[in-house]
């Protein structure tokens, strides 16, 4: 089974958590897109759900599938969010934001009773940090924010390059919220809670890609089938 097929299997399993009448958060990325396709097919078959997308890309995908959409302003409390991750550990701590949607993803996930993460098994790691941690920062004072982030990170034992995310044409990546992304190449994040708290003290930081105590369930697809990790199980 290749990684694409594993993502599909994880997305299919996540459909077990979807019940008629639910208010759903729809994640962003290639794995979440497979779940959105499945929700679209279920809606075409008569499933009644209303959904909040976590990015413009997911909104466009869902709209094309005729999935009923709402906003958190209209529907501030959701039943379930299903989303992918760039990395996760056994404690269901996540690194997210590879696609740059971490802020909306975190707002939507924390507005939901339950967050289910779907991933292929390459995403499951012992220690977070091999995948560069994305941080959403305001455009104003970028260099100052970067310097402060470096200083705060080193206080909690993290160091490495912090790189301004660029598009292939050399222009800065801009999030759906009009901000920049800084990717932290730390290699290992031994204390994710401490790092998240440290970054929260930098005024230019809007949000970081560490999702801590947010995910409830992880559905991980591998060669041997599906593994479901659940907190407290």
Tell me the window of 99-107, 149-157, 166-174, 216-224 that interacts with ligand 5RP (CB under 6 A): 99-107
Q: Tell me, yes or no, if 207 is annotated catalytic.
A: no
Give the β-pairing of 23-26 and 78-83. Answer: parallel
Window 105-124: residues binding ligand 5RP (CB under 6 A): 105
Q: Identify which of 167, 172, 93 has the alpha carbon closest to the alpha carbon of residue 133.
A: 93
- For ligand 5RP (CB under 6 A), the number of binding residues is 18
What does DSSP assign to residue 186?
Answer: -
In terms of C-beta density within 10 A (0-12 exposed, 13-18 middle, 19 or more buried), how is residue 83 classed?
buried
Neighbour tally for 114: CB within 10 Å: 15
CA 28 to the chain's CA centroid:
7
Rounded to whole angstroms, the maximal C-alpha distance in the chain is 53
Among 8, 86, 87, 216, binds ligand 5RP (CB under 6 A): 86
Site membership for ligand 5RP, residue 102 (CB under 6 A): yes
Cβ closer to ligand 5RP: 101 or 198?
A: 101
Cα–Cα separations (whole angstroms), residue 111 to 27, 54, 75, 137:
13, 12, 10, 22
x/- letters, 160..179, toward ligand 5RP (CB under 6 A): --------------------
Question: Shortest Cβ distance from residue 34 to ligand 5RP (Å)?
Answer: 8
Residues 54 and 101 sit within 8 Å (Cβ to Cβ): yes
Active-site entry in 87, 105, 136, 207: 105
Site membership for ligand 5RP, residue 85 (CB under 6 A): yes
Residues 115 and 166 sit within 8 Å (Cβ to Cβ): no
Cβ closer to ligand 5RP: 40 or 100?
A: 100
Window 11-70: residues binding ligand 5RP (CB under 6 A): 27-32
Question: Shortest Cβ distance from residue 118 to ligand 5RP (Å)?
Answer: 8
Among 84, 129, 132, 204, binds ligand 5RP (CB under 6 A): 84
Q: Which residues bind ligand 5RP (CB under 6 A)?
A: 27-32, 83-86, 96-102, 105
By annotation, the residues acting in catalysis are 105
């Amino acid at each position: 089974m290749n990684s694409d097929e594993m993502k599909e299997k994880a997305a299919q399993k996540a459909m077990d958590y979807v019940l008629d009448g639910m208010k759903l958060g729809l994640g962003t990325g290639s794995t979440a897109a497979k779940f959105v396709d499945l929700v679209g097919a279920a809606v075409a078959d008569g499933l009644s759900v209303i959904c909040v997308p976590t990015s413009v890309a997911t909104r466009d995908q869902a709209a094309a599938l005729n999935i009923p959409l709402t906003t958190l302003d209209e529907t501030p409390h959701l039943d379930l969010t299903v989303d992918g991750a760039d990395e996760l550990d056994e404690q269901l701590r996540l690194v997210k934001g590879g696609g740059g949607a971490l802020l909306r993803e975190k707002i939507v996930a924390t507005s939901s009773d339950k967050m289910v993460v779907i991933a292929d098994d390459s995403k499951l790691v012992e220690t977070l940090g091999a995948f560069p941690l994305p941080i959403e920062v305001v455009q104003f004072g970028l260099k100052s924010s970067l310097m402060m982030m470096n200083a705060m990170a080193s206080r909690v034992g993290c160091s490495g390059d912090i790189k301004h995310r660029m598009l292939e044409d050399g222009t800065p990546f801009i999030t759906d919220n009009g901000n920049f992304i800084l990717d932290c190449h730390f290699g290992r994040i031994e204390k994710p809670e401490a790092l998240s708290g440290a970054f929260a003290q930098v005024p230019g930081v809007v949000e970081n890609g560490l999702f801590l105590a947010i995910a409830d369930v992880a559905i991980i697809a591998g060669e041997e089938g599906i593994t479901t990790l659940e907190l407290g199980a």
